Chain A
Amino acid sequence: MLAGAGAGLALGLGRRPGSAQEPAVELSRDYDGTTINLLMEDLLETTVIEDLLPEFTEQTGITVQFEKVAYPTMREKLVPQLAAGAGNGSYDALEVDFYWVNEFARSGWVEPLDERIAASGGAVDLARYIPAMLDIGSRVDDQTFYVPMYPYPMGLIYRTDLLEDADFAAAYEAATGETLALPDSVEAYVAMAAAVSALDRGVYGAAMQAQQVDPIVMEFCNFLYGLGGDFYDAELTEPAINGEVGVQAVTLYAEAVNSAAQPGAAGADLNDTMATYSQGKAFSMISYLFMLNVFNDDEASQVKGKNALAVMPGGQGLTGAWSWGIPVSSPNPDAAWEFVKWVESPEIAMRRALAGGVPAQAAPYENEEFIAAYPWMTQAQEMIATGKGLPAVTKQAQLVEIMGRHLSDAVSGGASPQAAMDAAAEELRDLL
């Protein structure tokens, strides 16, 4: 059943800063008194939305409850609920990570949203989103299953103070014979990071996170995509990871971990790299956009205001994304759709952006107030626009597990890059 289309009391959202030219989104009061439950990752974007929820309740009578958990436990909690059967689950709407989108959609666990979107009268309009977001976390097999929520692109974070330090640059030039500058390719990045580490000035060339499973794969994707490679061929018929580019990417990645990164990078996760970088011990980091906020704003950071952002050397990196979906097991799918309409309305999207969120929609990036508050969002928009997700196999989480294991083997010397990728390709073939 579609979400109370035309029925009930329709309300326009109040006018707020940044929404002056946006049409009001009509919300239904048909679900007054309903409580909807959502499982959310405990991060800034969630808190920003949570702060706005009383307005949604006031306008619709729907109470929204967020169950906030750490990322590693989310999928384990979600899957049994999703498989519970129509209407039998605990969650009414979902926050879906980009590498669950195919699995959830093709398993029949989430509703196709095309009809709801068409009937929303423009309340949800996919044309408002950065196109890459739709490829990464919205469409599956030519159907729309999700509405993009928030991207987390990866790229190069680097120390501006060191890049502009004449003494540091001179030492670099004396050691390498080359000028210290932002690299334009993956090869140049690895060479630069290794050279910085070799300067022995208490700064590693890169803070890296090569712990299996998720950290190493997310970081490696940037090396692979930056070289123009991929896990499979374009038609998704054969693994390509053990081809020339794939093996080159693994070789460069292992070289970076073992000669350019902090000691123990092979077992480090995001928290470890954050600690290394924020203590001023690293020149650069291939990481998530949101880490820039941590380094520039966090009280504990020793490199506050000394960091900048660039697209992954080579021109393309990984863009992760969260999207909204409505599970088939949702007890209140129509009320949940009202929430999605509200939270993705142009006005709320703009207010989320101004409060520190990363917009999936294009409009905030055109907003002067937003860009003035977060100047690096211009680079962020480019990272999102050029970014790529994971191959569209159904079991993307298994792809990450397979790659994590074999990459870790290559990085720790358990297998050569070619042997590790040959073994990975054997297993990746089974996912097609």
Chain B
Amino acid sequence: MASEPLARPLLSSRGGIRRRGWRPTRRHGERRFGWGMAAPTLLALAAVVGFPLVFALWVSVHDYDLTEGGIGAFIGGANYARTLTDDLVATAAANTAVFSVGAVAIELLLALGLSLLLNQPGLRFKGAYLAILLIPLLVSPIAVGLIWRLLLHPDLGAVNWILGGLGLPPQEWLAGQTTAMPTVIGIDAWHETSLMIVIILAGLTALPRDPVEAAMVDGADRWQILRTITLPLLAPVLLVAILIRLIASMKTYDLIYILTRGGPGSATETISYSIWKAAFTTLEMGRAAAASFLLLLLILLLSVLLVRFSRDAA
């Protein structure tokens, strides 16, 4: 009787094929060591990120109003349905879209322009310019809100005082139905453009010089170089910058809280502010958790789309 081959293929635990008599290789040992080293971090992440997420998901499918005691009955998707059919949430979603797109578009244009200026070869005092431009980034959103509330004070603020000096009528800025959202977008742009500058300037600095120099030898002007070389090469960086800022702006709550409390009426109410109200004003934790998950899904979807665009662009 023929004996079994010594090296009969076997399925490994991960579906790969290994041979009888298999011994841990050095590479396998390194992998185990790597997992061992990463395990504490992974466990900590599971505890601080995973558990709250799972708990919030569980809360979102239960009737949980803090004023009615503990977590109530399982109600399936009722909190989600209520959130999706709430007119005020729809308004908040539209406001969030306007705010996010408006703010990120302005920040992108400003940051790109300023980064191109700062990236000019031989620019003097570049460090000083950069330091000044980065100051807003160092200020907390709450402080930004308070500073701008004072500057935009209709009666006592510096902005209307300057307008008056120029012979222009004072504006209500944060109190007008048509002025509140553009004002909040402008303040966010003042605060967050710095971050975009950091990202885009890093991208510009890392771009290869050869294509630009070759184009210059071929007689291309600055606009042609920007349009056909710099921007295409910079596209992945721009997409990352847009992604980071878009996600952050969709979660904006602090500026709205300090500047307008969502007003006038619901003119500047964003989804995040609406979630805060559900949790801390009406104390409906189930509804707040459901709305939070919907926002999370939206952000995940957006992230996947932008990452895909980013890969295509690269």
Contact = CB atoms under 8 A, between A and B. Distances in A.
Residue of B67, B154, B266 with most partner-chain A CB within 10 A: B67
A211 B66 contact: no
B67 A266 contact: no
B224 interface: no
B264 A212 contact: yes
A263 B155 contact: yes
Given A276-B156, A395-B67, A411 B282 contact: no
Contact of A405 (B69, B173, B266, B282): B266
Interface in A263-291: 263-268, 272, 275-276, 279, 281
Interface of B: 66-69, 153-156, 160, 170, 172-177, 180, 260-267, 277, 280-283
A405 B170 CA distance: 24
B265 A264 contact: no
Residue of B66, B155, B262, B282 with most partner-chain A CB within 10 A: B155
A90 interface: no
13 contacts: A79-B280, A212-B263, A212-B265, A213-B261, A262-B154, A262-B155, A263-B155, A267-B172, A272-B155, A272-B156, A395-B67, A414-B265, A414-B267
Instruction: Please list the 4 inter-chain residue pairs (A to B) with the smallest Cβ-Cβ separation, ordered nearest first.
Output: A264-B154, A267-B175, A409-B265, A412-B264
Contact of B280 (A75, A210, A263, A272): A75
Interface in A391-432: 394-395, 397-398, 401, 404-406, 408-409, 411-415
Contacts of A83: 66
B280 A267 contact: no
Contact of A106 (B67, B177, B180, B277): B67
Interface residue range, chain A: 35 or more
Contacts of A32: none
B154 A267 contact: yes
A398 B281 contact: yes
A268 B281 CA distance: 21
A397 B69 contact: no
B281 to A, nearest CB: 5
Given A266-B176, A412-B175, A414-B267, A212 B154 contact: no
Contacts of B173: 264, 267
A210 B265 CA distance: 11
A103 interface: yes
A107 B67 contact: yes
Given A272-B156, A394-B67, A414-B267, 13 more contacts: A79-B283, A107-B67, A107-B68, A210-B175, A212-B260, A262-B154, A266-B176, A272-B155, A281-B155, A409-B266, A412-B176, A412-B177, A415-B265
A108 interface: yes
Contacts of B176: 266, 412
Residue of B69, B174, B263 with most partner-chain A CB within 10 A: B263
